Amino acid sequence: MRLTGFAGKAAIVTGAAGGIGQAVTRALLEAGARVTAADTEAALAANPAPPGVTSAVLDVRDGAALEALVTETEARLGPLALGVHAAGILSIGPLLDLAPEEWERVIGVNTTGSFNTLRAFGRAMVRHGSGSIVTVSSNAAALPRMNMGAYAASKAAVTMLVRCLGLELAGQGVRCNIVAPGSTLTPMQTGMWADQAANGERAVIEGNLESYRTGIPLKKLATPEDISDAVMFLLSDQAGHITMADIFVDGGATLRA
């Protein structure tokens, strides 16, 4: 099946310098979309956007900056048709030891940042009467995790935010969907491994009963391209009757019904 619905269309990717964001940006570019890649200044400096993509410095906690980004993108590229929200941060540690400032940082970027982004994307698409938004959440939104309470709570809020927005916008021609990755070979994932990469990967695949964490039935971690493939499907014309979906791309780790 060849995915369609990208050629010549304006797209914005937040978190575009991250592992998943980079894969989505490349996929959109290759499919013929006209892409703006948005991320923090430091992230874009470390991982520049590919040729043919416009870079934009963005802090998703700034709602006015999101509105300005959409306005500028539409002035250059035309009506916003495709929006991918992949920006997010990870925080590790027991909840009882978590500083209030760290809680606010995680919720600010992951949850409030999602609200700002989805609102800006949605407002533009409603004006045009069509559009597709995909948000990268996490399978951590669906089950408790040791020492990941702030992250999991922020992603659970994001998942329900997207589903509610999808319900509100369905009658106005705008689809809103979620991709929920599990463990994926990105710097966010490998940064949690205190030992060698091979040992860290093996431990994630096998799971850990002491920390109440299941392993991965498919016996491998996802690649960023595995996640971007799911994102591209949900953006495409072939997913034209799908909205409020929450697709887990985690090798079966969630054991989800």
Residues annotated as catalytic are: 151
Residue with the two structure tokens 């493939």: 229
How many angstroms separate the CA atoms of 241 and 175, rounded?
Answer: 8
Query: What is the chain's alpha carbon radius of gyration, rounded to the nearest angstrom?
Result: 18
Output the six-digit token pair for 46.
């470390």
Angle formed at CA 87 by CA 86 and CA 88, multiple of 5 degrees = 115
Q: Residue 102: how many CB atoms within 10 A of its CB? A: 13
Query: Rounded to an integer, what is the distance from CA 56 to the centroid of its chain?
Result: 17
How many angstroms separate the CA atoms of 222 and 181, rounded?
Answer: 8
How many angstroms separate the CA atoms of 189 and 192, rounded?
Answer: 6
Beta strands in the chain (DSSP E): 10-14, 34-39, 54-57, 80-85, 131-136, 174-181, 246-249
Q: Which residues have C-beta within 8 Å of that of residue 202, sequence separation ≥ 6?
A: none
Q: Which amino acid is at 144?
A: P
Give the SS3 label for residue 102: helix
Identify the CA nearest to 138 among candidates 27, 234, 254, 19: 254
